[in-house]
């Protein structure tokens, strides 16, 4: 049955709310509006205004409220409309949610789920196009996931809710409209990366909205004789080192794709780990394809030029082979 | 004050806090306590008066100036002192220090070094109580500085909007670190700000322990009756600096002296002696008892142990199995 | 000297407010100390009588240094013991020492800076394990680096040389990748030589704007699972196949001095091999297949081409060939027909171009499509129509879906 990513997110929320009366969803426009990406349409009618709470525009406030509620017996899902607005709530996430367990000597757990839309590509310009996953993946005390497929859009919510620690879920804005033929949607996991395409010549590592670009590049490169293995990171913190390193030890080459700005990107972290764990297996330097370091411009051609594209990935892979292509 | 028992408890609470804070100052100078140390000297009436209006299963969220609140909420002084020393017998296992005292068993949710950081947390705790139909109050302490932070406004707004059982206790000591009230707020009457969110308010003399108690009782009753929020502004003053390393360039010694004349401990003691509620012997007994308690706490802390460095990375995430219980402090 | 803050290491004694013999009480201010922030008053924690002021005014000492001694009530003064205060650790600036210079002899002539040999870590390991001298291996990796395949090649050459010196009784080893590549080169040489000798080629080119097709494909791919995405190359293939069905003189074989049109359209697809070389096996019945099936066929062919497990029928069945689907960066391809076929369609690299459409300047994504055709079987007029048909099909991509 053809299911969209948006529907998968919606159904995951609905099923979570049905399964456990402690689950509440709160955020801006999640109720009456049905969710800014229509991910919570109909939920207010089914579950009522106590469990589907429209909040005022108070990111710092309602994320903190989510933390307090999680401490005291609820299982809140806090939706921050996009990662761009999450900056307002960063203090509560970093200084309370992530730190509470440690600061208190292990007395508390914060079973909070935060969902945010992320990424660029719709000409929404500099303040609405961020990809700040690396900032969140940097913080000890939380877990960070990026579902890139319809199956994961549904499947990651249940394990995230079951997790006793804060989990931040990133949903790329360009993925909501994508769809796939899925037999049944079930919970997946929030612990491992996935090899989406097996290959032998080079490892492509991607996550979230960049995964499909990596897959397209892999298809194109195969016609040119280069066989790519594509890894979907799925979990950005903690990174699944084993899957990444096993692949690189096999292929001897790696290209990391990340929509974040190049400097301090998550790609940088993956590259460092590859260097640490598989240096002597490398046949070429590890490469990355990231966004150009410019606040996202509005004009379409400029935005597309700033973002990583399939052609960039193909070129980066080709560069690893010298005269051997 | 005719209730001798209550008077005794109030005075004892204030004196225990005062002497404990003074001891902390001494220990900090001797480098036994490190990092930042924010002392409550002069503000004792607020904690002593207000905390006793809460029931045992109510929750408390406090600031980095929270030693008094921790102690009077029932965290043993031994645990507090060990925590300040950084020993693993401390209430936060030595991981938090002065600014991060926690005790889950007392529903004491810290201890927060971010000004106004605790307000959204308190509202969230109250939200869970309301939704799970637990009739409990969450008392949230913060200073005048916090009232300038966005988190204050967001929290009051949502607590009122959603009718949540939070007792907002503003300890207005007239200074946000080194910035005087009139230099940080265009509107210096802080109750007006809370009232603008349609939260009922009360302002009270924070140097008068009985007034603090009455105000807090009123607030708690309102919260329990209506399930909605209440805001109390305690007008108080800290006699010592903001923290240990503060030369207090921002205020006049004369002003401090003036406020010292209104020392809550001295005035309450004098009042009780005057009207015969307490005797000199009672007061001496309180002092002796406090001294002994402090001595025992310091000894406990000195004898405490350092957590193994091997365990550095524990308690970042929740382990799949039950964690081992924390070492029991001496009572 | 008390610790007054997390970042305080030392303080300077500014002023003594008491002198020896003074009685002091707990909490009394006894001195003023200068710190980095400001002057701070120091309180005394004990009761007693001042015995000795150990640190004089103006001296800077570390936190923890004894500033003064007190006598407890009832205690008698001892001989004054002057303990020298612990001096501050702020070191005096060392005098700069000029580096000594050896008297220079003849100055060596400036040499051209040599770059260190670049050898990948994996290649180095392999060389060690194969006992290959890494310094003798020339590199063909990125920027001339020595890679695994260079070492493997060097090792094979050594084996080869060693083997050729062995007596002929040595058993024949199984075909290596190098052997296969050499064989392939030979076959290509024979076929291409014959083609150019025998076939009178003519060449036509047509620019095809791909915007419609690519936009359509993006939407279509968004509705597919991540591993069911279709490449633009498949659209090109299908367009060629459908056009070849309509223009039969490009779909068949020249044999026995005559053109034999083929019944089905089996499009040969050029696939590059990593080891070098090109194969062009057939996807059968291209016009009759949906895009998903064509993509599967293509992926399957590519995989089997790499593992040298193509079927001979696939190699001999193409009725027309499309080349250069794996783009290598050239604008246009003018290829050589694979005999006995009569046509070869080439596609250059799609690129952004400035174009005039309806009198206005537009930026489009375009690709150069070329036709190399056998002038015995067709002529330029028909060739142009053939290319035109491919173009039209790519402007209406949903027609290609059927």
Average pLDDT over residues C158-164: 73
**Structure confidence at residue A73 (pLDDT):** 96
| Nearest alpha carbon to residue A76 among A27, A34, A117 | A27
CA distances (Å), origin C371, targets B84, C316, C375, C379, C386: 83, 21, 11, 11, 9
CA separation (Å) from C179 to C156, C158, C183, C185, C276? 10, 15, 6, 10, 12
Q: Do C229 and A216 touch (CB under 8 A)?
A: yes
Average pLDDT over residues C261-278: 86
Q: What is the per-residue pLDDT across B11-25, written as a single tens digit (0 to 9) for each? A: 999 999 999 999 999
Indicate which residue of A22, A128, A138, A252 is catalytic: A128
Chain C CB within 8 Å of residue B32 CB: no
- For A103, the closest of B96, B155, B318 (CB atoms) is B96
Catalytic residue from among A28, A59, A151, A171: A59
Helix boundaries (H) for C119-147: 121-130
Q: Indicate the pLDDT class of residue C166, thresholds 50, 70 and 90.
A: low
C73 versus C212: which is more confidently predicted?
A: C212
How far apart are alpha carbons B210 and B2 in whole angstroms? 12
Q: Which of C3, C6, C38 sits opposite B247 (nearest CB)?
A: C38
Parallel, antiparallel or unpaired: strands C271-272 and B166-172: unpaired
Rounded to whole angstroms, how far apart are CA atoms C184 and C181? Answer: 5
For residues A285 and A272, is the Cβ–Cβ distance under 8 A? no
* Domain definitions of chain C by residue range: 10-71, 125-167, 195-401
**d(Cα C364, Cα C209) in Å, to the nearest integer?**
7
When mean pLDDT is compared across A151-165, A213-227, B46-60, C271-285, the lowest value belongs to C271-285
Residues B65 and B38: beta-carbon distance below 8 Å: yes
pLDDT for res C155: 87
Across the interface, whether the CB atoms of B158 and A55 are under 8 A apart is answered: yes
Interface of C with B in 59-98 (CB under 8 A): 63-64
Task: Concatenate the DSSP letters of all residues of B57-98 into one string.
Answer: T-EEE--SS-HHHHHHTT--HHHHHHHHHT-TTSTTTTSS-T
Q: Which of B220, B286, B242 is nearest to B8 (CA)?
A: B286
B window 158-187, beta carbon within 8 A of C: none
Whether the per-residue pLDDT at B331 is higher than 70: the answer is no
Number of domains in chain B: 1
Q: Which residues lie closer than 8 Å to A139 by C-beta, 6 or more apart? A: A93, A94, A98, A237
pLDDT at residue B327 greater than cutoff 50: no
Indicate whether B199 pLDDT > 90: yes
Look at residue B80 in the predicted model and tell me its pLDDT: 98
The per-residue DSSP string of A235-252 comes to: EEES--HHHHHHHHHHHS
Average pLDDT (C329-351) is 91
Contacts of C6 in chain B (CB under 8 A): 34-36, 245
Rg of chain A over CA atoms, in angstroms? 20
Q: Are B199 and B168 in contact (CB under 8 A)?
A: yes
> Going edge to edge, which strands form the sheet with A228-232?
A194-197, A228-232, A202-206, A254-261, A287-291
Residue B312: how many other CB atoms lie within 10 Å: 10
Residue C91: pLDDT above 60?
no
Domains and CATH numbers, chain A: 2-181 (3.40.50.970), 194-324 (3.40.50.920)
pLDDT at C109: 54
With CA atoms as reference, the chain A residue closest to B90 would be A105
Of C179-183, C222-226, C380-384, give the lowest mean pLDDT range: C179-183
Here the tokens at position A242 are: 């084993």
Q: Which backbone phi and psi does B89 adopt, to 5 degrees?
A: -80, 0
Residue of B nearest to C1 (CA): B29
% of chain B beyond a pLDDT of 90: 92
pLDDT level of residue C90 (50, 70, 90 thresholds): very low
Which pLDDT does position B27 carry in this prediction?
A: 97
Evaluate the CA torsion angle B191, B192, B194, B195 in order and state its sign.
positive
The list of chain A residues with pLDDT below 70 reads 323, 325
B188 domain residue, yes or no: yes
* Phi and psi at residue B49, to the nearest 5°: -75, -45
pLDDT at residue C94 tops 60:
no
Higher pLDDT, B161 or C172: B161
Predicted local distance difference test score (pLDDT) of residue C76: 76
* Least confident segment among A154-158, B198-202, C29-33: C29-33
Q: What is the CATH number of the domain that holds B129?
A: 3.40.50.970
Q: Is A289 left (phi over 0), alpha (psi -120 to 50) or beta?
A: beta
Q: Residue B271 domain-assigned? A: yes
Task: Work out the mean pLDDT of chain B and round it to a whole number.
Answer: 94
Task: Please give the class, per CATH, of domain C195-401.
Answer: alpha beta
Nearest to B247 among C27, C37, C64 (CB): C37
In sequence order, the β-bridge partners of residue C33 are C13, C40
Rg (CA), chain C: 43
What is the distance between the alpha carbons of residues A51 and A18, in angstroms, rounded to a whole number?
11
Q: What is the pLDDT of residues B69-106, one digit of tens each?
A: 999 999 999 999 999 999 999 999 999 999 999 999 99
Q: Inform me whether the pLDDT recorded for B316 exceeds 60.
A: yes
pLDDT of residue A325: 63
Question: What range defines the domain where residue B204 resides?
Answer: 4-304
**Cα–chain-centroid distance for residue A68?**
25
Query: Tokens standing for A221?
Result: 């490169």
Q: Please, which residues bridge with residue C34 across strands?
A: C12, C39
Separation of CA A208 from chain center: 5
Report pLDDT for C111: 57
| CATH class of the domain at C10-71 | mainly beta
Tokens of A55: 């909040």
pLDDT for res B330: 36
Q: Which residues in chain C are closer than 8 Å to B36, comparing Cβ atoms?
A: 6
**pLDDT, tens digit, 9 for 90 and up, residues C3-17:** 876 667 788 898 999
A46 is catalytic: no
Per-residue pLDDT for B324 more than 60? no
Give the total residue count for chain C: 402
| Burial (0-12, 13-18, 19+ Cβ within 10 Å), B104 | middle
Tokens at B9, concatenated: 């408890």
Interface test with A, best of B154, B163, B168, B325 (most A CBs within 10 A): B154
Question: What is the share, in percent, of chain C residues with pLDDT greater than 90?
Answer: 50
Q: Is the pLDDT of residue C194 over 60?
A: yes
Those residues with Cβ within 8 angstroms of residue C208's Cβ, 6 or more apart along the chain or in another chain:
C366, C367, C368, C369, C390, C391, C394
Active site residue A22: no
Q: Which two tokens stand for residue A132?
A: 């700040």
Count the Cβ atoms, other than its own, within 10 Å of residue B144.
Answer: 23
Report which of B267, B149, B141 is spatially closest to residue B205, judged by C-alpha positions: B267
| SS3 state at B237 | coil
Distance between CA atoms of residues B173 and B180, nearest Å: 9
User: Rounded distance, CA B112 to CA B37, Å?
Assistant: 13
C372: alpha, beta or left, given left = phi > 0 and alpha = psi -120 to 50? beta
Question: Cα separation of C104 and C109, whole Å?
Answer: 13
**Taking CB atoms and an 8 Å cutoff, what residues of chain C touch B31?**
3, 63-64
A162 Cβ contact list (under 8 Å, min separation 6):
none
Residue B38: closest C-alpha in chain C: C5
Query: Could you tell me which CATH number the domain at C125-167 has?
Result: 4.10.320
* ipTM summary value: 0.92
């Amino acid at each position: 049955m053809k299911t969209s990513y948006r529907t998968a997110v919606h159904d995951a929320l609905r099923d979570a709310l049905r399964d456990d009366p402690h689950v509440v969803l709160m955020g801006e426009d999640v109720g009456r509006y049905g969710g800014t990406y229509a991910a919570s349409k109909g939920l207010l009618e089914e579950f009522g205004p106590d469990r589907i709470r429209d909040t005022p525009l108070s990111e710092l406030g309602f994320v903190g409220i989510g933390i307090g509620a999680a401490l005291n017996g609820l299982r809140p899902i806090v939706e921050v409309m996009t990662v761009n607005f999450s900056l307002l709530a960063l203090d509560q996430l970093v200084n309370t949610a992530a730190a509470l367990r440690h600061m208190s000597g292990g007395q508390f757990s914060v079973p909070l789920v935060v969902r945010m839309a992320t990424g660029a590509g719709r000409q929404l310009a500099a303040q609405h196009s961020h990809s700040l996953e690396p900032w969140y993946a940097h913080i000890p005390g939380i877990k960070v996931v990026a579902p890139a497929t319809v199956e994961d859009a549904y499947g990651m919510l249940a394990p995230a809710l079951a997790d006793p620690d804060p989990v931040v879920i990133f949903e790329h804005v360009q993925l909501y409209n994508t769809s796939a033929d899925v037999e049944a949607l079930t919970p997946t996991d929030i612990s491992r990366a996935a090899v989406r395409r097996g290959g032998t010549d080079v490892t492509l590592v991607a996550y979230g909205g960049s995964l499909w670009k990596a897959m397209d590049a892999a298809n194109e490169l195969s016609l040119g004789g280069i066989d790519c293995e594509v890894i979907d990171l799925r979990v950005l913190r903690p990174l699944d080192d084993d899957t990444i390193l096993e692949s690189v030890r096999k292929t001897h080459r790696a290209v990391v794709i990340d929509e974040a700005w190049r400097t301090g990107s998550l790609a940088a972290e993956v590259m460092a780990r590859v260097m640490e764990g598989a240096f002597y297996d490398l046949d070429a330097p590890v490469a990355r394809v990231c966004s150009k370091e410019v606040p996202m411009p509005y004009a379409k051609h400029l935005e597309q030029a700033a973002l990583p594209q399939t052609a960039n990935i193909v070129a980066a892979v080709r560069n690893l082979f010298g005269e051997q292509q | 004050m005719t209730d001798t028992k209550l008077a005794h408890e109030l005075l004892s609470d204030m004196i225990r806090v005062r002497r404990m804070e003074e001891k902390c100052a001494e220990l900090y100078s001797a480098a036994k306590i490190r990092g930042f140390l924010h002392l409550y000297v002069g503000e004792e009436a607020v904690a002593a008066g207000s905390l006793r209006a809460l029931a045992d299963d109510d929750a408390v969220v406090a600031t980095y100036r929270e030693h008094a609140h921790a102690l009077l909420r029932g965290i043993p002084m031994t645990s507090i002192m060990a925590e300040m020393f950084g020993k693993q017998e401390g209430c936060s296992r030595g991981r938090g220090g002065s600014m991060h005292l926690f005790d889950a068993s007392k529903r004491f949710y810290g201890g927060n070094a971010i000004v106004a950081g605790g307000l959204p947390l308190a509202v969230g705790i109250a939200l869970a109580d309301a939704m799970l139909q637990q009739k409990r109050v969450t008392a949230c302490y913060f200073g005048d500085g916090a009232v300038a932070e966005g988190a204050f406004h967001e929290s009051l707004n949502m607590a009122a909007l959603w009718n949540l059982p939070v007792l907002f206790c503003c300890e207005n000591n007239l200074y946000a670190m080194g910035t005087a009230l009139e230099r940080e707020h265009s509107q210096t009457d802080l109750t007006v700000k809370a009232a603008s969110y349609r939260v009922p308010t009360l302002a009270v003399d924070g140097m008068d322990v009985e007034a603090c108690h009455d105000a807090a009782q009123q607030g708690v009753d309102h919260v329990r009756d209506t399930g909605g929020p209440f805001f109390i502004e305690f007008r108080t003053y800290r006699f010592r600096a903001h923290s240990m390393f503060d030369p207090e360039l921002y205020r006049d010694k004369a002003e401090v002296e003036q406020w010292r004349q209104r020392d809550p401990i001295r005035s309450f003691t004098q009042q009780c002696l005057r009207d015969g509620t307490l005797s000199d012997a009672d007061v001496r007994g309180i002092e002796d008892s406090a001294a002994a308690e402090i001595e025992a706490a310091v000894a406990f802390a000195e004898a405490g142990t350092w957590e193994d460095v091997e365990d550095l990375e524990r308690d970042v995430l929740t382990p799949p199995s039950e964690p081992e219980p924390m070492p029991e402090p001496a009572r | 000297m008390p610790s007054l803050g997390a970042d305080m290491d030392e303080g300077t004694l500014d002023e003594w407010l008491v002198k020896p013999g003074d009685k002091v009480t707990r909490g009394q201010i006894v001195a003023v100390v200068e710190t980095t922030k400001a002057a701070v008053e120091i309180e005394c924690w004990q009761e007693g009588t001042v015995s000795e002021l150990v640190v004089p005014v103006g001296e800077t000492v570390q936190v923890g240094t004894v500033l003064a001694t007190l006598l407890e009530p009832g205690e008698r003064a001892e001989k004054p013991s002057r303990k020298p205060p612990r001096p501050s650790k702020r070191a005096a600036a060392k005098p700069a020492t000029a580096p000594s210079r050896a008297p220079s002899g003849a100055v060596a002539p400036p040499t051209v800076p040599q770059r260190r040999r670049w050898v990948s870590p994996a290649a180095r390991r392999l060389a060690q394990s194969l006992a290959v001298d890494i310094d003798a291996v020339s590199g063909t990796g990125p920027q001339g680096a020595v890679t695994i395949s260079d070492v493997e090649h060097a090792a094979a050459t050594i084996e080869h040389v060693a083997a050729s010196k062995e007596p002929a009784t040595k058993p024949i080893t199984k075909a290596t990748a190098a052997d296969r590549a050499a064989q392939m080169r030979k076959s290509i040489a024979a076929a291409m030589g014959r083609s150019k000798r025998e076939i009178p080629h003519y060449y036509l080119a047509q620019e095809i704007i791909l915007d419609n097709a690519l936009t359509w494909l993006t939407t279509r791919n968004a509705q597919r699972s991540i591993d069911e995405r279709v490449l633009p190359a498949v659209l090109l293939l299908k367009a060629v196949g459908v056009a070849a069905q309509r223009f039969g003189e490009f779909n068949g074989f020249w044999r026995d001095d005559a053109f034999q049109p083929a019944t089905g359209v089996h499009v040969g697809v050029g696939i590059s091999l990593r080891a070098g070389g090109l194969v062009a096996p057939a996807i059968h019945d291209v016009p009759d297949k949906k895009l998903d099936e064509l993509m599967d066929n293509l992926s399957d062919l590519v995989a089997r081409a790499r593992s040298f497990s193509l079927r001979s029928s696939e190699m001999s069945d193409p009725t027309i060939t499309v080349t250069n689907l794996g783009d290598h960066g050239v604008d246009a391809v003018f290829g050589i027909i694979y005999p006995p076929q009569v046509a070869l369609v080439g596609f250059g690299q799609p690129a952004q171009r400035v174009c005039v459409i309806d009198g206005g300047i537009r930026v489009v994504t375009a690709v150069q499509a070329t036709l190399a055709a056998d002038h015995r079987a067709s002529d330029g007029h028909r060739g142009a129509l053939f290319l035109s048909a491919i173009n039209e099909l790519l402007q209406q991509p949903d027609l290609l879906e059927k």
